[in-house]
Amino acid sequence: MFLRSAALLTVLSLVSIVSVARAYDFGEPATPQEIEIWNIDVSPNGTGLPEGSGTAEHGKLVFVANCQACHGVNGQGGIGGRLVGGRGTLATAHPVKTVGSYWPYAATVFDYIHRAMPYPKPGSLSNDDYYAVTAYILNLNGIWPSNEKLDRTNLPKIKMPNRNGFIVFPEWRNWPNVNAWRGWPNN
């Protein structure tokens, strides 16, 4: 009896949610332009990287103006996390996780910064500035030269220092082609 009335209640509330939605006419199909704004994900292998390019030299200016207040001078940390250094500490009692010590793929560093930073205004910089500031953080970590332009072609080819420091979840291991499916480079 209890189960039956619970089921009835569920049906009734679903019906009422749908009718409220109809009554107030909220919700509408997203337009292709709206989807475009949100469709910015970048895979570890670089699929989805936008046009644009920038050097670490220019990225330093972008960083000072938009990032340093939180991440500190030279990305050494402040009210936002430290982005530089920590190599060789992950297996110690005091691991320091940074872009240089921890992140396995450069393409997803770009993706994260492009999607989420600068913290109060994510997405507010140009793609050129996002490439430049990514190049600057990689440069501070000794991963990218200061005056070479980073772009959608060379960024995914960077091999991050901790590239092989991650293991595939045991339950994923037997899935067919798991790396290709995730968009991960196989090397």
Number of residues that bind ligand HEC (CB under 6 A): 18
If you compute the radius of gyration of the chain from its CA atoms, what whole number of angstroms results?
22
The least CB distance from residue 98 to ligand HEC, in Å, is 6
Q: In sequence order, which ranges of 79-155 are alpha helices (DSSP H)?
A: 106-116, 127-140
Element holding 9 (H helix, E strand): helix 2-24
Task: Please work out, in degrees rounded to the nearest 5, the angle formed at the alpha carbon of residue 160 by the alpha carbons of 157 and 165.
Answer: 130
Element holding 7 (H helix, E strand): helix 2-24
The least CB distance from residue 173 to ligand HEC, in Å, is 26
139 binds ligand HEC (CB under 6 A): no
Binding ligand HEC (rule: CB under 6 A), the pick from 52, 104, 112, 115 is 112
Structure tokens at 174: 């037997």
Binding ligand HEC (rule: CB under 6 A), the pick from 106, 107, 113, 155 is 113
Give the residue with the Cβ less far from ligand HEC, 23 or 91.
91
Interface characters, 61-100, with ligand HEC (x: CB under 6 A): -----xx-xxx--------xx-x-------------xxx-
152 binds ligand HEC (CB under 6 A): no
Provide the 10 A C-beta neighbour count for residue 14.
10
Cross-strand partners of 151: 53
Element holding 37 (H helix, E strand): helix 32-38
Element holding 174 (H helix, E strand): none
The least CB distance from residue 70 to ligand HEC, in Å, is 3
The least CB distance from residue 110 to ligand HEC, in Å, is 9
The least CB distance from residue 174 to ligand HEC, in Å, is 30
The two beta strands, 150-151 and 53-54, are antiparallel
Residues near ligand HEC (CB under 6 A): 66-67, 69-71, 80-81, 83, 97-99, 112-113, 117-120, 133
